[in-house]
Structure 1
Amino acid sequence: MIVKKNNLLINATPAKFGGAKTIVENYLENGDFSKYEKVILLAPRTIFFNNEKVHHVKRETSGLLSWTFSVLIVFLYALYYRCGSIISFNNVNCIVPFFNKITYFHTPHIFYSKSMRHRLLRFTIRYLMVREHFVFQSKYVHDEFVRVFGEKYKFSVNWCGCESPFINNISFRKENSSEKYKCIVPIVDSKSIVKNFKFVVDNIDFIDQNNIEIYSLSEGGERSDKIHYIGRKSKVELMSLYCEMDFMLMPSLFETVGLPIFEFAGTGKPVLVLDKPYISGIDNTIGLPDNIFPFCEDEFYDSIINLTQEYEWHKILPLSSDHRMLKPDWSAMNNFI
């Protein structure tokens, strides 16, 4: 069976929710598929897009099955659909030669996690994917990848862009209002060490004393007497929630991008971000708007006090749809054949 270079297979089987799902949907809406005769998407049924050229084959994987599917099984789908080009959104790609391939890397846990799955991913990248083409969302993630795996690969750094709530739906806090500030913490897993929700729990009494209510996207966790655990939200629900909140607090220790930071920043309302290398890397890639405020842990109290006392100063106008932060760059994906 002859495969064709201008038949494209997109492998996104683990992208069930969250940032991974958002990025795949963004690519399907904004990528350039004009050079392809046929485009096959392998992805969960939860993926939504409006592109008649893309044929959606509903497939879903998780855990070690995602590795097996991406590295080996996808080869059979490529043969069946006669696809000579493969895009993988699963951090690794088909190890069978002769295909034109590019891999979107978006999971920083691979750099340091001791889990069997992440060890397997490291092994695959280090020994089975030499000279393959990887795409990163920021210069920092690229640099970390090179630190861990070396320079024997092809690289592209393309900012993924993001959505933001429709400007007309955004509600703004009234100046000099005595109501409590509503703060969203966009962390779904309150137990994750990397997501660092413990930082919020440890400081919740101080936060509460400063007239602030915390809303978490986790299903539950500690200090529920002062933290509203509202659970995971759909994209539409999340955008609506952003419109109602007064500011965002992001305590993560490591993110590939941290899409909620930039989605919320599009409202013009303030975002407090724990200052870690990933946020500096994004600043160096596209620049941060003036309503994103990185802070060090020992400056947190001052940051909260300054925000509540000078809230209007921390705001900017909502970002327009053509702002560099909201616009995606899919040039590496568009031009890899």
Structure 2
Amino acid sequence: MKKDIIVISGINMVEGGIFTILDNCLQKISDYSKNKEIKVIALVNDKSKFNYPNIEYIDFSKSKKYWINRLYYEYFYFKKLSKKIKPDIWLSLHDVSPNVVAKKRFLYFHHPTIFYKSTLKDWIFDYKIGVFSIFYNYLFQINLSKNKAVFVQQNWIKKEFENLYHLKNVLVTKPENIQEKDSEEINLDTAKIHFFYPSFPRSFKNFELIGKAAKLLPNSIKNKIEVHLTISKNDNNYSKYIIKKYNFKPLNFIGKISRAEVFGYYKKMDCLLFPSKLETWGLPITEAKGFVKPVLLANLPYAKETIGNYDKVSFFDIENPKELAQLMTDFVNKTIQYQENKFTFDESDQLKDWNSIFDFMLKN
């Protein structure tokens, strides 16, 4: 019996949340492909980062160096490659619909900047965000209608797609909370209360709100807490700006850490902070919820949909450091009154996990 050939493309997914998406997908399809008549080919930036069996890996190490390389692969080289591989299914995990020859094509969307109105600060600290917010919207629409289905992470994104692009084949599939098997032991001062914000320093991640809120805290609160932020001055211009301006206690700039270390912090932390202005999901929210930890979140639709039904949550205005400072103070003083959150929507167009996505692609 001929095997169905599935190509999973994620050549630019090398760090942070987008790498987690690729890693989780490959982990799941590796297990899914056991005892099934399918062959999986993964297009990745660095195959040494993966050791999941039942997958053939192809490296594209130059794709991240220059944007022109990425465009060349997506719109020229992949057509040649697809004619050679002859895939039954081509799943693009990084937002664009490449020129390929395949029986069925699918797109997994997770890039929030097409919904983002860039500010002067974005252009100053990372011009790519400004360019993306303008250019990516057009790039994203190339070949969009040729996909059998588009998978998005949240219901609000599905509604945006239906309104903006008049699509009728958008399915919601929220990211699975795939817990790490191992976490690294993290030693934190047991006399302190620990807040944690794991995120890569992009200007829309809104680290400065935490800095401004920390300045407003009374000394009695500052002396009782540590706020751990996963950035260093060597990351980019935005991180240099944040650290230069807010380099004071209780902020603790721990730099980039491994996934195992992130989960170590989840175990030891007391509360997650998440002030990001825009996400297509917000994976740390889901992960913190998995550890049943309190969370203080941006008062935005993505955060409310991500946290779902949860008691230990309160929300703050992303432009109001005073409000965040008050919530942090109340948390330390154990006087916080959680706002709680309830979220329901029509689940008829929802795929619950990666296996459901794989089933859908093979059967439809």
Query: Which of the five TM-score ranges fits, normalised by the shorter chain?
Result: 0.7 to 0.9
What RMSD over aligned residues (CA atoms) do the two structures have, in Å?
A: 3.2
C-alpha contact 1:108 1:141 (8 A) present in aligned 2: no
Rounded to whole Å, the distance in 2 between the matches of 1:334 and 1:21 is 23
Q: Deviations over 1:60-112 (max 9, x none)?
A: 42334334322332222222222232000110122346541101100010233
- Relative distance call for 1:188 and 1:167 in structure 2 (3 A) is closer
Partner Cα separation in structure 1 for residue 88 and residue 183 of structure 2 = 45
Q: Say which SS state the counterpart of residue 279 (structure 1) adopts.
A: helix
Q: 1:289 aligns with which of 289, 305, 310?
A: 310
Deviations 1:232-255 (A, max 9, x none): 111112112222222111111111
Question: What secondary structure, in the 3-state scheme, does the structure 1 residue paired with 2:331 have?
Answer: helix
Describe the shift of the 1:311–1:72 C-alpha distance in structure 2 as closer, same or farther (beyond 3 A). Answer: farther
Query: Deviation per CA, 1:144-175, whole angstroms, max 9, x where unpaired?
Result: 3334x32235211011112346799899999x
1:224 corresponds to which letter in structure 2?
N
2:82–2:100 Cα contact (<8 Å) kept:
no
In the TM superposition, residue 16 of structure 1 has moved relative to its aligned partner by 0.7
Q: What is residue 317 of structure 1 aligned with on the other side?
A: none
| Cα 1:310/1:117, change in 2 over 3 Å | closer
Q: Of residues 276, 280, 289 in structure 2, which corresponds to 1:252?
A: 276
Normalized per residue, which structure has more helix? 2
Shift of 1:260: 1.3
Matched, 1:180 2:192: yes
How far off its partner does 1:303 sit? Answer: 1.8
Q: What is the correspondence of 1:1-337 to structure 2 with a 5 Å cutoff? A: 6-31=4-29, 32-33=32-33, 35-45=36-46, 48-49=49-50, 51-60=52-61, 61-62=63-64, 63-96=67-100, 99-112=103-116, 115-117=130-132, 119-130=134-145, 132=147, 133-147=149-163, 149-164=164-179, 179-189=191-201, 192-207=202-217, 209=219, 210=221, 211-220=224-233, 221=243, 222-226=245-249, 227-283=251-307, 287-296=308-317, 297=320, 299-310=323-334, 328-337=353-362
Alpha-carbon separation, structure 2, partners of 1:135 and 1:310 = 41
The residue that corresponds to 1:323 in the other structure is none
Question: d(CA) in 2 for partners of 1:121 and 1:70?
Answer: 14
Partner Cα separation in structure 2 for residue 164 and residue 311 of structure 1: 31
User: Offset of 1:300 from its aligned partner?
Assistant: 2.4
Q: Secondary structure at the match of 1:232?
A: coil
Aligned equivalents of 2:288, 2:99: Cα separation in 1:
38
Verify the 8 A CA contact 1:217 1:231 in the aligned structure 2.
yes
Amino acid of the structure 1 residue aligned with 2:153: Q
* Number of equivalent positions: 313
Q: Given the two structures, how large is their TM-score scaled by the length of structure 2?
A: 0.75
> Distance between the aligned counterparts of 2:183 and 2:77, measured in 1?
46
**Aligned partners of 1:117 and 1:266: how far apart in 2?**
32
* 1:136 Cα deviation from its structure 2 partner: 0.6
Give the C-alpha shift of residue 131 in structure 1. 5.0
Q: Is the CA contact 2:194–2:228 (under 8 Å) kept in the aligned structure 1?
A: yes
Q: Which amino acid aligns with 1:14?
A: N
Please state whether the residue corresponding to 1:336 is helix, strand or coil: helix
Cα gap change, 1:67 to 1:117, in 2 (>3 Å)? farther
Deviations 1:217-270 (A, max 9, x none): 011323222221111111112112222222111111111111112212222221
Asked whether the 8 Å contact 2:97–2:142 carries over to 1, the reply is no
Query: In the aligned structure 2, how far is the partner of 1:163 from the partner of 1:257?
Result: 14
TM-score (norm 1): 0.81
SS at match of 1:68: helix
SS in 2 for 1:264: helix
Identity of aligned residues (%): 22
Structure 1, unmatched stretches of 5+, are 315-326
Specify the code of the residue in structure 2 equivalent to 1:294: F
Alpha-carbon offset, residue 116 of structure 1: 4.1
